[in-house]
A = this chain, B = another copy of it.
Amino acid sequence: MLRGVDLDLSASAGELTARLVDIESVSGSEGPLADAIESALGECGHLSVVRDGNSIVARTDLGRARRVVLAGHIDTVPVADNLPSKVDQGNLFGCGTSDMKSGVAVQLKLAADVSAPVMDVTYVWYDCEEVETERNGLLRLSKNMPASLAGDFAILLEPTGGVVEGGCQGTLRAEIQAEGERAHSARAWMGNNAIHEAAEILYRLRNYEPRQPQVDGLSFREGLNAVGIRGGVAGNVIPDVCVVTVNYRFAPDRSADEAADHIRALFDGWQVRITDAAGGARPGLHSAAAASFVAAIGGTPRAKLGWTDVARFDALGIPAVNYGPGDPSVAHSRGEHVSLDAITECESRMRSWLAAS
C-alpha cells in the first residue's frame, strides 16, 4: 500500500503512472514529487543518485562500453480540473498522464528493475520543462553538472504515440520591418505607407517553398510563417512602420546561425531582427546504440518536427530521439489521457532492449 508520498516501484507501470499523476507537480511545484522519486530510488543499491534542485540523476556504473541516457520531465502544465486521475476503458485520464508521467513511470520501472543492463544507463528526471527556457531543469543540469548527462545516445520519453521520432527541427523567430513616412491620411501622397510596403514581405512568405530534406535517413519538413503582424499609428495617419514576426522551423541539417542567414537573405532590403533561435537535433540513428534501440522498438522511425529538449542533448554532442507511450495530440488538454496498454508496451520494449545484447 502507498502511504504519504511514497512510491511503490513494484507496482505496474500503469499503477505507478496514476500515482505520479496524483502527486500534483505543476512547473515550479515539483518538490514533493522529486522528494518521492529520490526517496524511492534510494532503495536501489545498483544506482548512484544525485539531486540538483528538483532534478534527479541516477546512474548505473557497470563499466559497460556504452552509456545511454533516458530523460523525462516531471512537471506538468496547470491542472485543468482533471485530477485525481481515473481509469476509463483502458485509458488513464488526468493532468500529465500523456505528457509525460507515463514516460516517467517507465523510467522508474526500468531504473528499479534492470539492475544489470547491457549498456550503462543514466536516468534523468528534470523540472520546469513546460515553462520558459531559462527555468528548464535539463538546461540547468547541462550547466551545473554537464558530466552527469554524458552518454552515447539519449532517449527523451516525451509522448510520441509509441513511435521513435528522431531528432527535432530548430525554431527561429525574426521581426521583418517595413518602413515608410508618416502623413495625415487626408494627404496620403505626402507620406509613404509602411503597411502597403509590407505586401511584398507577405508575398514572399506566401510563395516560399519550404525544404523537405532527408537528414540521417529521416524526412524533415520545414516551414516559414508569419505568426504576427502589427502596424498603425491612428485612424487618420499613414503609418511609418509595419512589423511582420516570422517563425522559421528548420531541419537539423542547418544550424541556428545558418537559419538566421537564410532569413536575412530572403528579406534582404528590410530590417531583420532575430528575436530568438534554437537549433534542432540530428536524429543520429546511424549510431550503434540508436540502431539497436530502433530494432528493439520496431516500427519505422520518423522525424520529430516540433522542437523538444532532444536539442539540448544534440548541443552536448549526444544523438537523441523521442520515444514515449503518450499521445502528443491530447497533451495539455483537459481530456489528457494515456492508454494503459501503450505504457506496458513501451516498458516491455525498452526493458528487452536494455536487458538483451
Contact = CB atoms under 8 A, between A and B. Distances in A.
Interface stretch (A56-64, A239-247, A348-356): A239-247
Contacts of A245: 232, 235
A184 interface: yes
Given A206-B199, A305-B187, A229 B228 contact: no
B230 A229 contact: yes
A195 interface: yes
A185 B235 contact: no
A142 to B, nearest CB: 23
Given A196-B206, A202-B199, A305-B186, A231 B233 contact: no
Nearest to A231: B229
Interface residues of A, number: 44
A339 interface: no
A48 B51 CA distance: 92
A233 to B, nearest CB: 7
Interface in A197-233: 197-199, 202-203, 205-206, 221, 223, 225-233
Interface string A170-201: 01010000000000111111000101111100
A227 B223 contact: no
Given A169-B186, A186-B169, A306-B184, A227 B199 contact: no
A236 B307 CA distance: 11
Contacts of A307: 186
Given A188-B249, A199-B202, A249-B186, A227 B221 contact: no
A237 interface: yes
Given A195-B202, A196-B206, A199-B202, A188 B235 contact: no
A307 to B, nearest CB: 7
A169, A239, A244, A247, most chain B CB atoms within 10 A: A247
Nearest to A228: B232
A234 interface: yes
B247 A235 contact: yes
B198 A202 contact: yes
B227 A232 contact: yes
A238 interface: yes
Given A227-B232, A232-B229, A185 B239 contact: no
B235 A173 contact: yes
A193, A226, A249, most chain B CB atoms within 10 A: A226
B223 A239 contact: no
A247 B238 CA distance: 9
A229 B229 contact: yes
A242 B244 CA distance: 12
A238 B187 CA distance: 36
Interface string A319-350: 00000000000000000000000000000000
A339 B307 CA distance: 66
Contacts of A199: 199, 202-203, 205-206
7 contacts: A169-B186, A186-B223, A189-B223, A227-B232, A228-B231, A229-B229, A229-B230
